[in-house]
Structure 1
Amino acid sequence: MRIAVLDNDRSQADTICQVLSGAGHSCQTFDSGKELLGQLRKDSTDLLIMDWQVPDMPGSEVLRRAKEKLSANTPTMFLANTSAEDDMVAGMTAGADDYLVKPLRRGELAARVSALLRRAYPSQNGSEQLTFGPYTFETRPGRLLMDGAPIDVTHKEFYLALLFFRNIGRPLSRAYIHESVWVRETAVPSRTMDTHVSRVRNKLQLRPENGFRLVPVYSYGYRLEKLGA
């Protein structure tokens, strides 16, 4: 999962990202509400963790404006000082899903994040079967079928294809694709992603006659389009 962390305390932000990265998530940090909101205008995130006390704007305003840009099911967690009971009440009233009291405890952070993600994205927990037109994804074995016949795909091709189908019609940035599929691989050449996208397009026969089209978005990334009624 891709997680955004708003905290102008660099040491604390680094600790949060260490915990999240250790749990297999991708973490991006921001020092100010303005910086976070600017990024959310360009790309989304699967979970937002934010300090309620940032210097450039009130936590309630950051949360309100962030929620305008996030998907409806994107969970939010805020960090509050031990004695700031008013902040805790204000954060939950503003629509946050959970909060943690500082100083943070690594185990509690990992557990609370895991619980939020399980509730927000139940379809990504355990084995499931997802069908999109002629395509069927069986997540636990990582098997992909077209009209009932298996398609020979690699592990990364499977999850790349699933990422596109879970975001039909939504432009996905190259950064988002990289962090979702290649997770901990920091140096992935641009041509590697393009090659995988090309293979997915060809192996799944993503052509108009099959109801879908995978297209590049200039200077941004890719988008899977569903065609017809």
Structure 2
Amino acid sequence: MHIGVLEDDLDQQAFIEACLTTAGHQVSLFARSSELRRATKEQTFDFFIIDWRLPDSCGMDVVSHLRQHEGWRGPILFITASQGEDEIVKALELGADDFLAKPLRPKEFIARVSALGRRSGYVTPHPAATCPESFKLHTEEHYISVAGNAVGLTEREYRLAALFFSKIGELITRAHLLELVWGIKGDVSTRTVDTHVSRLRRKLELDGRHGLRLRSVYQSGYRMDTCQTTNAEQVAN
């Protein structure tokens, strides 16, 4: 995941960065809330870790701004030196998904990050066991190669593809896709999902020619299936 960390203490920054990079995450560090807000307009993030006390703002205000004004639906882990119940409750009410008190313990810290990531649908794909060799997921750069050719994907398309590749042979409902990839729950139109899946199928040639077919399951959702490799002429017919 690409994780934005808002923490002004340089020692804490270094500690958090070391923990996250060791766990395989990409990290961007910010000491001021203004820096993070500017970065959200220029970069795509999967996860935020936000400290309570900052030189130019309060971490709770940052959480509230992300949720209410920027429509951020991804996970937010709030960290604080205070263990007071009122502060913890306020942070959660404003939109934080979880909190940790300082000093951070490395194993627990990474476990909390991983748990929030899983809950929000961020998966680490392991396609080698079941996925044909024609497909290669570049997890750090967030793109996929098909038959040796790099295919450019939007961040959401990559997350959608990574989810399908991690669950080959499993039915994934449209509602589940909306929740995991878009962060939307409830009775929401699934037309957006269908449009993205159709575009992804075309971009990655998931029509059987490379050994994978992304199928639509009537009134349910989608399933990625392995199949015998077909050539372009057979697909066209």
Q: Is 1:81 aligned to 2:81, yes or no?
A: yes
Q: Is 1:69 aligned to 2:52, yes or no?
A: no
1:7 Cα shift? 0.3
Structure 2 residue runs of 5 or longer lacking an equivalent are 146-151, 159-198, 205-237
SS at match of 1:4: strand
Distance in structure 2 (CA, Å) of the matches to 1:167 and 1:142: 23
CA contact (8 A) 1:45 1:70 kept: no
1:152 to 112, 117, 134: 134
1:165 Cα shift? 6.2
AA at the equivalent of 2:58: P
CA contact (8 A) 2:8 2:31 kept: yes
Q: Identify if the C-alpha distance between structure 1 residues 142 and 166 changes in structure 2 by more than 3 Å, giving closer, same or farther.
A: farther
CA contact (8 A) 1:6 1:51 kept: yes
Residue equivalent to 2:144: 161
Distance in structure 1 (CA, Å) of the matches to 2:108 and 2:8: 21
CA contact (8 A) 1:6 1:36 kept: yes
Residue equivalent to 1:11: 11
1:27 Cα shift? 0.8
Distance in structure 1 (CA, Å) of the matches to 2:143 and 2:29: 24
Q: How does 1:33-182 map to 2 (within 5 A)?
A: 33-67=33-67, 68-69=69-70, 71-72=72-73, 74-121=74-121, 124=123, 139-141=127-129, 143=131, 152-154=134-136, 156=138, 160-161=143-144, 164=153, 167-168=156-157
AA at the equivalent of 1:37: R
AA at the equivalent of 1:26: Q
1:140 Cα shift? 4.8
Residues 59-91 of structure 1: CA deviation (Å, up to 9, x unaligned): 22211222343642x100111124443321110
TM-score normalised to structure 1 length: 0.58
CA contact (8 A) 2:142 2:155 kept: no
What is the RMSD computed on CA atoms of the aligned residues?
3.2
TM-score normalised to structure 2 length: 0.56
Q: Identify if the C-alpha distance between structure 1 residues 141 and 84 changes in structure 2 by more than 3 Å, giving closer, same or farther.
A: same
Q: Identify if the C-alpha distance between structure 1 residues 141 and 89 changes in structure 2 by more than 3 Å, giving closer, same or farther.
A: same
Q: Identify if the C-alpha distance between structure 1 residues 164 and 84 changes in structure 2 by more than 3 Å, giving closer, same or farther.
A: same
- Among all aligned residue pairs of Structure 1 and Structure 2, give the percentage whose two residues are the same amino acid: 29
Structure 1 residue runs of 5 or longer lacking an equivalent are 128-138, 145-150, 170-207, 214-229
Distance in structure 1 (CA, Å) of the matches to 2:118 and 2:103: 24
Distance in structure 1 (CA, Å) of the matches to 2:52 and 2:130: 40
1:41 Cα shift? 1.4
Distance in structure 2 (CA, Å) of the matches to 1:91 and 1:52: 9
Q: How does 1:174-193 map to 2 (within 5 A)?
A: none
1:159 Cα shift? 5.8
| 4+ residue runs over 4 A deviation | 210-213
Aligned residues: 156
